Structure 1
Amino acid sequence: WATYLIGFCVCAAIGILFFIVMPFVGLIFCCCRCAGKCGGRHKPHDPKRAGCKRKTYCTVLLVLNTVTLAGVVCAFLSNELVYQKLTNQDNIGPVGKLTSAIGHLEGYINDTVDEVQTTLLRQFDNSRASIEDDIRNTANNAVDEVLKTLNATALLDQTKKLSQDVNRTQDNLKNVAAQLSFLSSEGRALTDNLTEIADGAAAAIKQVTGNSTYGNFKRDQYVVTADFSGLDQLSTETEQIEQSLDMNKYIAENAVADTKNLTTSSVNTKIDEASSSIDSVRAEIDKGADSVRDSLKPVIDGMQSTSAKLEGAQPDISKYSKYGWYGGLAVSCLLLLVVVVYYLGVLFGLCGERPGLGAQCCNTGTGANFLMAGVGFTFIFAWLIMLVCVILFVVGGPAYTEVCRYFDDHSPQELKPFETALLKASDLTKDIYNGKDVDLSITGILDDCFHDKPIYGVMKLDNMVNLTAITDLEPLEVKLDELKNAGLNIPDIQIVSAQLNQTVENFANSGLVTLNFTPYYTEVNKKLTVGDLTQMSDNLKSIALHTSLNQSLTYLDGQRLGLKSKVNALLEGLQQSENNFNDQKNGLVTGQLETVVNRVIAQAQGIVNDILNTVRNDLGKCRPIYDGFYAATDAGCVVVLDPLNGFWFSVGWCLFFFIPSLIFAVKLAGLYRREHDEKDFDDPLAFIPLAMLSPPHRYMIHHKRAKIVLSLTFQIQRQNILCPHGDVPRKHYKRMHRRLYKIKGL
């Protein structure tokens, strides 16, 4: 800033010096002109190289005046821009920009609070049903966990599987019995038929040969070797198995369900209170969001008040800006006046005749008068215009270099000096965070908002808004702790009922264990006859081999292996689980209830943490803060200050080029006024009557008159030669003859 300050001081000193010196220079210049100096005296003849000088001075003056005209145009435009912005035309002035920026920031704050509140409640409501279900099922889950821990669940599952095996065994026994009955009847029929065939064959052979044997015929080959009638029909085993059917109805599922219901009913009040506490947690979240909105209400009210004040001040700004517009218009018109008279002077100097006898009024002398008028206007108004320029320069220049240049590029890093000064000048962070000393960086905030990061982390709102307190699960945890510590009095459970015990024992003692399946396999796999027989025997063999008899026998044989020991172990395990549960039921269920409750609390806390992460990392993208901040700074620095600086710069531009323009205008005016003066004609003695003078004087007067008469006569003759066709205006002849008439006394 020191470098800028030196520059401003030098420029302001030059302007003040110009303001002081210019009137004195103008006064001295006028005195010199009146004394015939500084081009004030007319010389009868042009100096050497006058034509070259005129062309050079005219060209330079035209260039300087054109450059000055550009500054005049910029002055008009800048003045008009300042007026349009201050009157807020089309709502693009500083007031419009500021109110728009404030409105966007206000909308951003409201939208962010609404978004946070909606997100908190929506996500909590989405997870609420799951939490409530877990709470209401805590007792059931605790009993299930206890049974699982005591292995009762697995044993009950095994009992169910045993029941299914009993039903399947009974089906296989029935299948074996049916197949054995079929094979026995068919075997007897086969034996009878073979005996009849063998007897017939033997009688026929004996009748023919006289002997009961012939060739390969052997009567003992027509004997059925497989005897199915001797096998046990398994009727006893089938009856005993039937007594073990429908074992499922004796399994203690109802007892377990009753225990769950009793456990749930014993803590039902606590469960209802815990479920109701979820409503209080939701109410706290809603209340916390409302408290955040209330804490931001002064900020929003301040924004609304500022917007209202700005809009209320707009009529006064528009009213008084009109006077400034008139002043700027007057200054611009004065500058334009000087430029116009210079242009007119050059125009008449280039296109007009030389001044003298017979020249029109629009001659080079008129151009010289316009040039000197421009010089006069410069001396009269330039110092006043410089005063206006210096005032605007002193206001607008430092405003840009010391303030607005930091905001010009919209780069947050440029605000370091501004940030340091602001933080040193006030306890800004303490004002924002209610007295807390927070390490806050304005440039960091704007840079993060430029990258559209969430507002919670950018503004370190954890120092202002305690989201953890808003989403505190303490009411729920208190009720769940009461649920954990609830005194339980769970009734005994009977897993192994008398009916189940009897049914399982009937199955174990059904005779499958002592049953020998070897004869069955032997008879089934025997050849039906000793030799090859007819198709009937083949069909019988096919029936014996390809029915499901073998499969049923295999299944029954497998079931009997270790059947009794397995069943006994199952009963012992069920009884042990029942005893363990009944001995430790209250402690076990309470312990498991605590585990389930802790799991519910952890699940609820995980849901809340997810909600908080969403708020901290996904909501309230703060790019609108960056845009609103620079929109507010642009309202002053770009909308108003830029055209204001453009105006004083344009005025200073014009004043700077007025100095060389003034010099060349004076030089050029002296060249445009050159003429041959008729001093003898202007002599007062030429109009004195001759009778009043003495003879010597008469002679002198006659001599002078003769010279003038000869001169005028020569001019008339010259015009006749140059214009032989009478193109010379008649008024020229009248003027010349009138002068001759006066001289001759005719």
Structure 2
Amino acid sequence: MALVLGSLLLLGLCGNTFSGGQPSSTDAPKAWNYELPETSYETQDSHKAGPIGILFELVHIFLYVVQPHDFPEDALRKVIQKAHESKINYDEPETVLLGLKIAYYEAGIILCSLLGLLFIILMPLVGYFFCMCRCCNKCGGEMHQRQKENGPFLRKCFAISLLVICVIISIGIFYGFVANHQVRTRIKRSRKLADSNFKDLRTLLNETPEQIKYILAQYNTTKDKAFLDLNSINSVLGGGILDRLRPNIIPVLDEIKSMATAIKETKEALENMNSTLKSLHQQSTQLSSSLTSVKTSLRGSLNDPLCSVRPTSETCNSIRLSLNQLNSNPELRQLPLVDAELNNVNNVLRTDLDGLVQQGYQSLNDIPGRVQSQTTSVVAGIKRVLNSVGSDINNVTQRLPIQYILSEFSGYLNNTESYMQRHLPTLEEYDSYWWLGGLVICSLLTLIVIFYYLGLLCGVCGYDRHATPTTRGCVSNTGGVFLMVDSVALLPRLVLNSWSQEILRPRPPDVLRLQFGVGLSFLFCWILMIIVVLTFVVGANVEKLICEPYMSKELFRVLDTPRLLNEDWEYYLSGKLFNKSKIKLTFEQVYSDCKNNRGTYGTLHLENSFNISEQLNINEHTESISNELENLKVNFSIFLLGEAGRKNLQDFAACGIDRMNYNIYLAQTGKSPAGVNLLSFAYDLEAKANRLPPGNLKNSLRRDAQTIKTIHQQRVLPIEQSLSTVYQSVKILQRTSSGLLEKVTRILTSLDFAQNFITNNISSIVTEETKKYGRTIIGYFEHYLQWIEFSIREKVASCKPVATALDTAVDVFLCSYIIDPLNLFWFGIGKATVFLLPALIFAVKLAKYYRRMDSEDVYDDVETIPMKNPSQH
């Protein structure tokens, strides 16, 4: 694996790499999640060209028009296969056909290259003949301008055409300057980019051992959680059993407890009622005696002689008639006592029903404690097994091949980094040469265009349509000279002028200078086109054969062709890694997995050399825990209520409170203790006495009225209080006795059901809860072991930095830093060079209209005689 990773890294840094992997479809368990610490990398995943990217896209569109064919995967495969052959027979039909396929794919590039070569061949020839033609006063070489009717129109057309062409050339030159600057600035960034990638790769190497340590550390977290549950077996397992029993037992015990409370309340009510009835009998007798006494006193008072005299007699008679109302209620003394019922309830209370219920509650609450006391040895055995699982996991992680492979990969990384450190300065030095050469080319073209612009500016501004060709102004003539003296001829003109004066002495120096300037312009176009063709062939082919197929992964599909890189291996990577070439491990899959940040183990299918699933055999580890849990036996018996408690409930149902005649008590509690309201009677008597004349009769009646008030206060009110107590007790007894037998029967039925439920289901409940408890303990480690496998397969030693380094080498450095600016350079310079030819033609044509001529056409009525300028002579 280290060899493969090292190969990928070297390939990437020299022109090809792999990026993050797609996450496995295996998801980590969701219950109690662990998470590996995030590893941050410095190098960006993607490269953005910025605003200059629009120009690069323009070049890509042009290349697509020139080369619209799909990537020739089959042809490239055959080329690689042919390269492995020791001797290639070029006459074979297969070889010829392959050549034709390559030629068909390269047709656009070949055609453009041939046009460039044609341009290179023809330009010097055309320039030479053009120069010779001007030497012979042809092709505009004669300093004489013939007047034409369409002359102004032609001048304007030539000027506009030249201006448009100059703008196009200027755009091309601008592209050249931009491309030249981009190469320089981006190459300067290469060292920082390489350092960033190497830093990320070293982070990968350094973080992998830390990730494995973290995985091992999580075992202690898992074990602590399991130990916590084992130490809390009373609340976890015992609580689970208790929760299963509660719904069927607690309601029954609550009902029995309520009935025990009702028995106590019944006893209290009977006791209060019985004592109140006894007191009521006595109070009623005392009331009757007191009323009899007061009636006797009133009759004695009414025997007074004054009662026989009118009108006093009428008052005495009304008082005498009302004396029959002063009687007590005799039925109060006849209310029956409840001694028998009270005795029955006291007999029931001899059995402590509430204590029996508390024993039932306690038998349930003792379940957790019994579980803990009966499972001590089993818990200790499970803990021993869990400790041994930790040792096994540590051994497995120590034998993982990842760290060993990454240590080997570290050697490749060091060698690659040293190589880069040695050669990056050379690359920067070559880049400076390239930048200087590109700057010279762009500057010379810029100078040419500047002369054209100056020529147009001076010619247009200084042109006088009323002036004759021989009398044109200095500004106009300067514009014409600028148009003829192109920038290529500036430097060598001095030498050429002197040479021309020696060799071609008969010709005027000015004419020779113009002719050689035009010739050297043609010669310069030819040299520029050589540079354009060379850079076009290189840049276009690299873009179409490396950059584009790399981005679309077509290049990987070619490399993944069975038996392509090694005729003995069906898949090269699996043969290199495992010496088992039939395992499907492809460059494209490795690149995609690394690109998506997948771990090295899963990316390279290392299960074929070290199967983590077999080494971390979950069933093997959990089986040991299951065996220990099978020895976990919990035995206990629960009795909710004994026979004494059942008999107690039955005796209470038969105590007789439900057969009492409560109506006779309720009927008396609604009646007055006396036949009349004594207080009202006393006030009425006192009012009648006050109407009598003063004397013994009046005084005695007033004393009797006061006595009646006292009887009401001392006798009637206590009786009324006793009747209220009897009423309350009767209501309590009525509520308790209502459906008493049915209530007791229902409770006993529920009790039988609950007891049967316990008897029949306690063992199955204990078994089920024990298994559930065991699954919980095992689940912690199943989840942990699954997470280990998932993490090692998908997360540990994520090869994303390797993929990023490959993307940096190919997509960023080769394609974005070098090829994109190179293509933009030939695109701009090529456009400027191609349009330089029509610019020369229009400049030569236009210069005639701006320069001061040596002679001009003169028109007479008879004939036109060209006159020579005296200056020529």
TM-score of the two chains, using structure 2 as the length reference = 0.57
1:83 aligns with 2:194: no
Quick one: which of 290, 300, 305 aligns to 1:193? 290
1:309-348 deviations in whole A, cap 9, x for unaligned? 6566432221121121222233334434555666788889
Letter in 2 for 1:653: K
| Pair 145,277 (structure 1): closer, same or farther in 2 beyond 3 Å | farther
Q: Which runs of 5+ in 1 are unaligned?
A: 89-93, 678-713, 716-731, 740-746
Whether 1:314 aligns to 2:427 is no
Paired residues of 1:345 and 1:369 also in contact (CA < 8 A): no
Q: Does 1:140 pair with 2:238? A: yes
Match of 1:399 in 2: 542
Deviations 1:64-98 (A, max 9, x none): 4554344334433322322222232xxxxx55556
1:192 and 1:182 map into 2 onto residues whose CA distance is 16
- The counterpart of 2:822, out of the listed 644, 649, 665, is 644
1:175 paired with 2:175, answer no
Residue from 584, 589, 592 that aligns with 1:437 = 584
Aligned counterpart, 2:518: 375
CA deviations over 1:177-209 (Å, ceiling 9, x no partner): 443344234223223223334444566678999
Q: Give the Cα separation in 2 of the matches to 1:219 and 1:85.
A: 128
User: Structure 1 residues 494, 32: CA separation in 2 closer, same or farther (over 3 Å shift)?
Assistant: closer
Cα drift, residue 391 of structure 1: 0.8
SS state of the match for residue 552, structure 1?
helix
2:837 aligns with: 659
- Give CA deviations for 1:494-516 in whole Å, capped at 9, x if unaligned: 665xxx65576567547961457
Q: Supply the AA of the counterpart residue of 2:836.
A: F
CA 1:594–1:190 in 2, change beyond 3 Å: closer, same or farther?
A: same
Q: After the TM superposition, which residues 27-38 of structure 1 pair with which residues of structure 2 at under 5 Å, given as runs?
A: 27-29=128-130, 36=136, 38=138
Deviation at 1:256, TM superposition (A): 5.0
Instruction: Show CA shifts across 1:242-267 (max 9, x none).
Output: 53457337614555555653443332
CA contact (8 A) 2:560 2:572 kept: yes
User: Which amino acid is the alignment partner of residue 434 of structure 2?
Assistant: G
Indicate the SS of the match to 1:513: coil
Deviation, 1:110, is: 9.8
Pick which of 329-338 and 123-132 moved more. 123-132
Q: In structure 2, how many angstroms separate the alpha carbons of the residues matched to 1:589 and 1:385?
A: 94
Deviation at 1:12, TM superposition (A): 0.6
Is the Cα–Cα contact under 8 Å of residues 134 and 142 in structure 2 kept in the other structure?
no
Q: Does the Cα contact within 8 Å between 1:371 and 1:669 map onto a contact in 2?
A: no
> Which structure would you say has the larger RCO, counting Cα contacts within 8 Å and 6 or more residues apart?
2
Q: Is it true that 1:226 corresponds to 2:332 in the alignment?
A: yes
- Cα offset, 1:545, TM superposition: 4.6
SS in 2 for 1:437: coil
1:101 & 1:140 partners in 2: Cα distance? 58
1:186–1:625 CA distance, 2 compared to 1 (3 A)? farther
Q: Is the contact made by 1:255 and 1:493 (CA closer than 8 Å) also made in structure 2?
A: yes
CA separation of 1:313/1:667 partners in 2, compared to 1, >3 Å: closer, same or farther? same
Amino acid corresponding to residue 19 of structure 1 in structure 2:
I
Contact conserved, 1:223 with 1:529, CA < 8 A, in 2?
yes
Q: Aligned-pair distance for 1:10?
A: 1.0
CA distance in structure 2 between the partners assigned to 1:185 and 1:610 by the alignment: 88
Contact 2:281 / 2:332 at 8 angstroms: preserved in 1? no
CA distance in 1, matches of 2:328, 2:172: 142
- For the residue of structure 2 that corresponds to 1:16, the secondary structure is helix
Helix, strand or coil: the match of 1:87? helix
Q: Distance in 2 between matches of 1:521 and 1:9?
A: 125
Q: CA RMSD in A?
A: 6.3
| Aligned mate of 2:117, from 16, 20, 36 | 16
In the TM superposition, residue 569 of structure 1 has moved relative to its aligned partner by 6.5
Moved more, 165-174 or 282-291: 282-291
Match of 1:243 among 332, 350, 353: 350
Give the 3-state SS of the residue equivalent to 1:225 in structure 2: helix
State the one-letter code of the partner of 1:393.
F
**Which one of the candidate residues 654, 676, 684 is aligned to 1:532?**
676
- 1:371 touches 1:665 (CA, 8 Å); kept in 2? no
Going from structure 1 to structure 2, the CA distance change for 1:225 and 1:160 (only over 3 Å counts) comes to: closer
Is the alpha carbon distance of 1:337 and 1:267 closer, same or farther for their aligned partners in structure 2, counting shifts above 3 Å?
same
Q: Aligned match of 2:374 in 238, 243, 266?
A: 266
Partner of 2:172: 71
CA gap of 1:657–1:508, structure 2 versus 1, over 3 A, is closer
Q: After superposition, give the CA deviation of every residue in 1:529-571 in whole Å (9 maximum; x if it has no partner).
A: 6843525376456435533222233245348646886787788
Instruction: Quote the residue 2:732 is aligned against.
Output: 552
Of the candidates 675, 683, 701, which is equivalent to residue 854 of structure 2? Answer: 675
> Is the 8 Å Cα contact of residues 281 and 476 (structure 1) preserved in structure 2?
yes
1:600-625 deviation line (CA, Å, top 9, x unaligned):
3697599889989x999x99999999
Matched with 1:513 is: 655
SS at structure 2 position matched to 1:18: helix
TM-score computed with the length of structure 1 as normaliser: 0.65
Aligned partners of 2:223 and 2:386 also within 8 Å: no
Alignment deviations for residues 665-715 of structure 1 (CA, whole Å, 9 cap, x no partner): 5667789585379xxxxxxxxxxxxxxxxxxxxxxxxxxxxxxxxxxxx98
| One of 442, 456, 471 as aligned partner of 1:332 | 442
2:773 aligned residue: 597
Give the letter for the 1:227 counterpart.
Answer: R
Q: Which amino acid aligns with 1:261?
A: G
Distance in 1 (CA, whole Å) between partners of 2:583 and 2:646 is 76
Q: 2:721 aligns with which of 512, 518, 543?
A: 543
Distance in 2, Cα, partners of 1:171 & 1:288: 76
Letter in 2 for 1:396: G
- Quote the Cα distance in structure 1 between the aligned partners of 2:844 and 2:746: 134
1:30-73 per-residue CA deviation (whole Å, 9 max, x = no partner) reads 55566x36459757x65454976778767755654554344334
Please report how far the alpha carbon of residue 392 of structure 1 lies from its aligned counterpart in structure 2 after TM superposition.
Answer: 0.3
Separation (CA, whole Å) in 2 of partners of 1:33 and 1:432:
71
What does 1:608-619 correspond to in 2, within 5 Å? none
Once the two structures are TM-superposed, the CA of residue 489 in structure 1 deviates from its matched residue by 7.2
The one-letter amino acid paired with 2:354 is M
Overall identity of the aligned pairs, in %: 19
Give the drift of 1:130: 8.4
Give the match for residue 41 of structure 2: none
Which of 262, 266, 273 in structure 2 is aligned with 1:165? 262
Post-superposition shift, 1:226?
1.3
Give the C-alpha shift of residue 645 in structure 1.
1.4
Partner in structure 2 of residue 706 of structure 1: none
Shift of 1:374: 3.1
Indicate if the aligned counterparts of 1:74 and 1:646 stay in contact, CA closer than 8 A: yes
1:395 deviation in Å?
A: 0.8
Q: Distance in 1 between matches of 2:179 and 2:211?
A: 44
Letter in 1 for 2:830: G
Cα offset, 1:24, TM superposition: 4.2
Please report how far the alpha carbon of residue 641 of structure 1 lies from its aligned counterpart in structure 2 after TM superposition. Answer: 2.3
**Aligned CA distance change for structure 1 residues 341 and 138 (closer, same or farther; 3 Å):** closer
Aligned to 2:24: none
The alpha carbon displacement at 1:137 in A equals: 4.0
Which whole-Å CA distance do the structure 2 matches of 1:566 and 1:661 have between them?
Answer: 117
**Which letter does structure 2 place at the counterpart of 1:75?**
G
Opposite residue 86 of structure 1, the aligned amino acid is I
Query: Taking structure 1 as reference, are residues 139 and 75 closer, same or farther at Cα in structure 2, changes over 3 Å only?
Result: closer
* Cα distance in 1 for residues equivalent to 2:360 and 2:513: 125
Provide the C-alpha distance between the structure 1 equivalents of 2:802 and 2:282, rounded to a whole number of angstroms. 101
Question: How many residues of Structure 1 are paired with residues of Structure 2 in the alignment?
Answer: 651
> Matched residues in 2 for 1:65 and 1:145: separation?
94
Instruction: For 2:510 and 2:179, locate their aligned partners in 1 and report how far apart those are by CA, in whole Å.
Output: 31
Stretches of structure 2 that go unaligned for 5 or more consecutive residues are 1-67, 70-103, 309-316, 482-507, 566-570, 680-711, 857-868
* Distance in structure 2 (CA, Å) of the matches to 1:573 and 1:96: 82
